Chain A
Amino acid sequence: MSKPVLEIKDLHVEIDHKPILKGVNLTVQGGEVHAVMGPNGTGKTSLAQTLMGHPNYTVTQGQILLDGEDVLAMKTDARARAGLFLAMQYPSEISGVTTANFLRTAINARRGEGNQIPLKEFRDKLDAAMKFLEMDTKFANRYLNEGFSGGEKKRNEILQMMMLEPRIAILDEIDSGLDIDAIKVVSKGVNSLAGPNFGVLLITHYQRILSYVKPDVVHIMMDGRIVKSGDYQLAEELESKGYEWVRTALLDQVQ
């Protein structure tokens, strides 16, 4: 498949008639890593969920395009099949459904009727991915996220990403609650897919993970808007000066 292009244009989003995103512009292409940083409650998760079509978020203005196709016209599952992947900040627990069974169903949903993945091929791929992520293979037969620790859930999100091989991955605080070893493992997973046909939108609160998943562009988001974009140094500047700096120095400037 060709190099993906995800374009977000003047995106306005509400929850319960409350404006959350107030005109977000962002383009992620294959081969690029974009980091989105910002304080809590600023709309990062709302952006991620809106990209995937979460029913609670209403788009009131703007466009989302994947390879020029109108993403907002697609249902959530169609977006996934078009190549979008969202690693969720708070993954759901699904009782009674094993991770392995779920992943096979998901892979087959993407491959379509008559093109189902052979069981052996699936097993081998799953084993390899779990090994790569230093996961106990027992996880494959545990119910999806049920009773998983925060860190196990994050690793499981990355496992799913590796198995589904999306074209654009949106990672919502994949690093939160992880120790440094776990961050390295998760980063290794993300980097394993790197290439011209894979783009990343990495949402994070902290600069830490950016040492392992190197962003090409860093965006700072505040109050539902991207207020500043720059290269890796912007993340370092943010780390040293803190979000208060952005609030005073940048937000006034935009308003």
Chain B
Amino acid sequence: MTTSTDFEWLDNLEELRQSEPAWVVAMRKQALEAAKDLPWPERSKTPLRGRHADLSVLKDPLLPTAIPASVLATVQSDAYLAFGNGHLQEQALPPEALRQGIIVSALSRAIVEHQNRIQPVFGHVIGQPASRADALNGALWDDGAFIYIPDNVTLKTPILILHYADSQARRLIPRSLIIMGVNSHATIIERYVSASSDERLLFLGAVEISAQDGASVHYGSLQNLSARSDVFMRRQGHVYRDARIDWSIGEFGGDITIASDDTELLNPGAHSTHTMVFFGADKQRQDFDTRITHSSPHTTSHIIAKGVMKDKARSAFNGVTDIKPGAVQSDGRQKEQTLMLSDDAHADAVPSLLINENDVFAAHSASTGPIDKVALFYLMARGLSEKEAIRLFVHGFLAPVVDAIPSDLLRNAVWDSVERKLDQ
């Protein structure tokens, strides 16, 4: 078990972060204090067995690295940010976006340049850290994106953000903050990629989104970290009056992945759809807690998850639709489906509805099962090899969800990730 003394060497945060404003350093120190006492995320289906006791990886400097051209090409576009080992390497933003007041910047710069915009929101969407992983991210985040879309501005071009870790990196701690002004609209896609390596990578990610009245954001995330990564991901959104956050999350990489996604529908008319596609192979463990909280009347939500497990992979998906007292006329739905391609694979999907109000609609369904052997025979009887038959079947299983992803770019990248998992 890790004891608080393991953190003592981190207490010189001020020295490490001397270029940052005092309020940021104070937040980091507070988070560090919390990290000392908090446990790692506890998941009944995914025991961590002390795998993360080695926190010395948090100490070593993360050196800037060149992002391989093939990886960079996946985000290079009119509007993007690319980080290598937590250092901003490349970026672009169309001139008209600048004119409209859109900010797409490294968070490390934005805390200095846009303090007035950031300070009221940063750290407040996530709030108190719920686990050591959250707290360590709060204390030690390297860098990430700050995106601000001003009131009444619509950005058509998707904003792409890449977080890349090279084979030397033993940790990556990205954090992003997205503020959607009143009646603003945008698509933002974050990708996480690491070079394959024999060394373990400790990944602690966090994303905060605030969607103000009437705003809508399609937030996509695609995780393709190496097979030796311990992935802890925390995503949290606040949705105000008549606003919406549509999450499209693809989880493919990592050895262990523990993700906590939390969306709060704070005012009437708020909506969130949370779509997750995941695929585990080999001995991967994936554990997802996805929660949407209705704390206001006339709020609507939909949690959709599709997962495929092959080899000896295991997954657990826990969806929670939490309808608070007074959230009358709210509508919360969930649908989870998982498919197992081998006898040794295992998937659990548990939808929960926590309802403290009578005048609401809520529904859920979950199914998990092995691939249909008779269907495979049917496909093979037409000349498809077993591999092609499985591919077609898996495509068919995922298509209703993947093909509904509103961004071409993300949709294609998710299909690519599926292909690679099938071939793995």
Q: List the interface of chain A (C-beta within 8 A of B).
A: 52-55, 75-77, 79-81, 85-86, 88, 91-97, 101-102, 105-106, 109-110, 143-144, 160, 164
Contact = CB atoms under 8 A, between A and B. Distances in A.
Contacts of B399: 96-97
B383 A96 contact: no
28 contacts: A52-B377, A53-B381, A54-B377, A55-B373, A75-B380, A76-B380, A79-B381, A80-B380, A80-B382, A85-B381, A85-B382, A94-B375, A94-B379, A94-B393, A94-B396, A95-B396, A95-B400, A96-B395, A102-B379, A106-B379, A106-B382, A109-B382, A109-B383, A109-B384, A109-B388, A143-B396, A164-B382, A164-B383
Nearest to A81: B383
Nearest to B373: A55
B147 interface: no
Contacts of B373: 55
A126 to B, nearest CB: 14
Contacts of A105: 384, 388, 392
Interface in B369-414: 372-375, 377-386, 388-389, 392-393, 395-400
Given A88-B381, A92-B377, 15 more contacts: A77-B380, A77-B384, A80-B380, A81-B383, A92-B378, A92-B379, A94-B392, A95-B397, A102-B382, A102-B392, A106-B383, A110-B383, A144-B396, A164-B382, A164-B383
A86 B181 CA distance: 60
Contacts of A110: 383
B191 to A, nearest CB: 25
Contacts of B398: 96
B374 A96 contact: no
Given A55-B373, A92-B374, A94-B375, A80 B381 contact: yes
Nearest to A90: B374
Contact of A77 (B372, B383, B395): B383
A52 B396 CA distance: 24
A76 B377 contact: yes
Contacts of A75: 380, 386
B386 A96 contact: no
A94 B378 contact: yes
Contacts of A53: 377, 381
Nearest to A87: B381
B397 A96 contact: yes
A32 B400 CA distance: 44
B381 to A, nearest CB: 5
Contact of A109 (B372, B378, B385, B400): B385
Contacts of B374: 92
A95 B372 CA distance: 11
Contacts of B377: 52-55, 76, 92
Contact of B396 (A76, A77, A80, A97): A97
Contacts of A54: 377
Contacts of B372: 92
B382 A96 contact: no
B375 A160 contact: no
Nearest to A80: B383
B386 A77 contact: yes
A157 to B, nearest CB: 10
Nearest to B382: A106
Given A92-B372, A92-B374, A95-B397, A76 B381 contact: yes
Nearest to B374: A92
A230 to B, nearest CB: 30
- Which has the most chain A C-beta neighbours within 10 Å: B385, B396, B400? B396
Interface in B351-381: 372-375, 377-381
